[in-house]
Amino acid sequence: MSKKDGEGCPRNRKQDNAQALRMGDPASDVSSSPVLSAFKTFQLELDCKHDKYERLVKLSRDITIESKRTIFLLHRVTSVPNVEEVLSEAESKLDGVRLKISQIAEELRGEDLFQFHRAFTPGIQEYVEAVSFQHFIRNRSLITLEEVNSKLVFLKEDRTEAKDSSAVQQGAPGALVFQVTPTDYLLGVADLTGELMRMCINSVGNGDMDTPFQLGQFLREIHDGFSYIGNTGPYEVSKKLYTLKQSLAKVEDACYTLRVRGSEIPRHMLADVFTSRAALIDTEDGVA
Amino acid sequence: MSVTDMFSNIQGFLSADQDIREDIRKVVQVLEQTAREILTVLQSVHQPSGFKDIPSKCLRARELFSTVRNHIGDLKTKFPVDQYYRFHEHWRFVLQRVTFLAAFVVYLESESLVTREEVAQILGIEVDREKGFHLDIEDYLAGVLIMASELSRLAVNSVTSGDYGRPLRISRFINELDSGFRLLNLKNDPLRKRYDGLKYDVKKIEEVVYDLSIRGLTKDPETAGDK
């Protein structure tokens, strides 16, 4: 149509373009019409948004990978003599993860957290899982949301004028704050229970008779907590509740067997009973 | 803090969140009602009789937009201003609808594409995120695309009503819109899906124009167009 006609001759733009269009003026230069110039700004805006989104997705993937590695590392505590060493190594890995999270916070400076939430929620959940796992091994308690968040305050010297939004709210001047949403925290904790179940089975395999009962107790508390929330939470939470129930059942079974068998089998043989059992459970369902 | 305390804290957060969503849903429902009313007013331009008094219909629609502004003003008070995207999904659909309606009114009045600023003004909202409740760019574009399919329908019906000039003008307009959208690098998202429908609207209108031209009905679009 007429848009082809004008392409060769870049005329004075804007100048009664709408008029020209309506009249079907063959010389109307549509390539610089208000509509097209508007769309050019839209293009910039959308591209900018998509780029930011992609960068966040990439950061989130890196966070997921590093957090997973930390969790694997932490699983070694059941079999090594020096727990502290493993814990401090995990700590330094988590510091690396936090560095990445600070980059997310940097990207989100002045943005709405929830506009890009989908891009980084998997990474954050994995981080919560790792950090709460480490916290549990060290303190035998559940890390609170406040504790998680308090570790995600980053001091930036270069920029003092922090323009902050809901997510990145004003802390100390120049501080960059990332806030884990309660939902992400909740989902991370739900994942944690899978790790605790594994840890329980592993520690039985290593002849540790106390940890399984502690874990059983702890998992029950978490399970009660989740049941309290029930279906008022988001959809993903209720989905994870099912897996949580399975994990809890396995741990409870393990404790049960430990009690029953423990009274009749000599201690040094228990390990054998459970190594075969653990293998059985792992093949049944390999999900964490 | 014990595990139980932690969970009851979170439970508190979740139920507060649900209350907000409930409030938003109520306002959005009323907003949808008004949007349907405006649509009904504007739909009558497809009637043969409707072509004669388009200005009065636009006027009526503009009156109804003041109700929309009230409802959106109400909606703004239902949630913290900096958490727009947290609840975005609740009003995304209706905001696209009213954007379409605003764009359609503006097109009927002036046969030009409504700017994002104009839509924001008609709806009583902002363009920039920083300034408060705003019109997301993707919602604006989605609204414009809804209008494109409405216009392809209008082109058909205007021929039925004997207005042979209008399809030509619509065709030029849609073509320009199409080349505008071609500039965008869309991701594989709902907007892209909707954009994929634009080519069928373009095609439909081109067929109408073709039908008119082989019958020699387009000879004098200028005079035919000015009813």
Amino acid identity for residue A128 in this structure: V
Q: Does B92 touch chain A (CB under 8 A)?
A: no
DSSP annotation of A127 reads H
Which tens digits make up the pLDDT trace of A119-177?
999 999 999 999 999 999 999 899 999 999 999 988 765 443 334 443 444 444 567 88
Angstroms from A41 CA to nearest CA on chain B: 10
Locate B134 and state its tokens: 């705003």
- End-to-end CA, chain A: 60
Q: Cβ atoms within 10 A of the Cβ of B71, count? A: 22
DSSP H/E element including B88 = helix B88-110
CB A249 within 8 A of CB A193: no
DSSP annotation of B115 reads P
Q: Cβ atoms within 10 A of the Cβ of A52, count? A: 16
Query: Which of A189-193, A234-238, A242-246, B149-153 is predicted least confidently?
Result: A234-238
Mark out the alpha helices in B111-197 (DSSP H runs).
Answer: 116-123, 137-160, 165-182, 190-196
Q: Do A114 and B7 touch (CB under 8 A)?
A: no
Is the per-residue pLDDT at A5 higher than 70?
no
CB A181 within 8 A of CB A169: no
Taking residues A93-118, report their average pLDDT.
Answer: 90
ipTM of the complex in this document: 0.87
Residue A195 annotated as binding site:
yes
Nearest Cα residue to A51 out of A152, A119, A112: A119
Distance CA A169, CA B12 (A): 21
Angstroms from A224 CA to nearest CA on chain B: 8
Angstroms from B66 CA to nearest CA on chain A: 26
Q: Does B111 touch chain A (CB under 8 A)?
A: yes
pLDDT of residue A270: 59
Nearest CB among A35, A42, A166 relative to B184 is that of A42
pLDDT of residue B3: 86
Q: Do B141 and A23 touch (CB under 8 A)?
A: no
Q: Do B83 and A185 touch (CB under 8 A)?
A: no
Split at pLDDT 50, 70, 90, the class of A272 is: low
Q: How many CB pairs under 8 A join A and B?
A: 126
Tell me the three state secondary structure of residue B134.
strand
Split at pLDDT 50, 70, 90, the class of A223 is: very high
CB A254 within 8 A of CB A212: yes
- pTM of the entire predicted model: 0.81
Angstroms from B115 CA to nearest CA on chain A: 8
From the candidates A39, A184, A224, which should be mutated to test the interface with B, based on the most B CB atoms within 10 A?
A39
Angstroms from A273 CA to nearest CA on chain B: 32
Which tens digits make up the pLDDT trace of B167-191?
999 999 999 999 999 999 998 889 9
Q: Does A218 touch chain B (CB under 8 A)?
A: yes
Amino acid identity for residue A286 in this structure: G
Between positions 31 and 70 of B, the ones with CB within 8 A of A are: none
Is the per-residue pLDDT at A288 higher than 50?
no
Q: Does B132 touch chain A (CB under 8 A)?
A: no
Nearest CB among A2, A182, A218 relative to B10 is that of A182
Q: Do B184 and A45 touch (CB under 8 A)?
A: no
Taking residues A268-282, report their average pLDDT.
Answer: 57
Distance CA B16, CA A286 (A): 36
Distance CA B215, CA A242 (A): 68
Locate B27 and state its tokens: 């306002």
Distance CA A115, CA A109 (A): 12
Distance CA A79, CA A72 (A): 12
Q: Cβ atoms within 10 A of the Cβ of B61, count? A: 23
Between positions 156 and 215 of A, the ones with CB within 8 A of B are: 165-166, 182-183, 185-186
Which residues of A are less than 8 Å from B181 in CB distance? 39
Determine the angle formed by the axes of helices A34-75 and A83-107, rounding to 10 degrees: 170
Which residues of A are less than 8 Å from B177 in CB distance? 35
Query: Which of A11-15, A64-68, A221-225, B108-112 is predicted least confidently?
Result: A11-15
**Beta-carbon-side half-sphere exposure of residue A126 (alpha carbons within 13 Å):** 24
Taking residues A39-51, report their average pLDDT.
Answer: 93
Cα distances (angstroms) measured from residue A152 to each of A78, A113, A123, A190, A245: 28, 15, 14, 21, 31
Q: What share of chain B is helix, strand, coil (3-state, %, to 5)?
A: 80, 0, 20
Q: Do A46 and B186 touch (CB under 8 A)?
A: yes
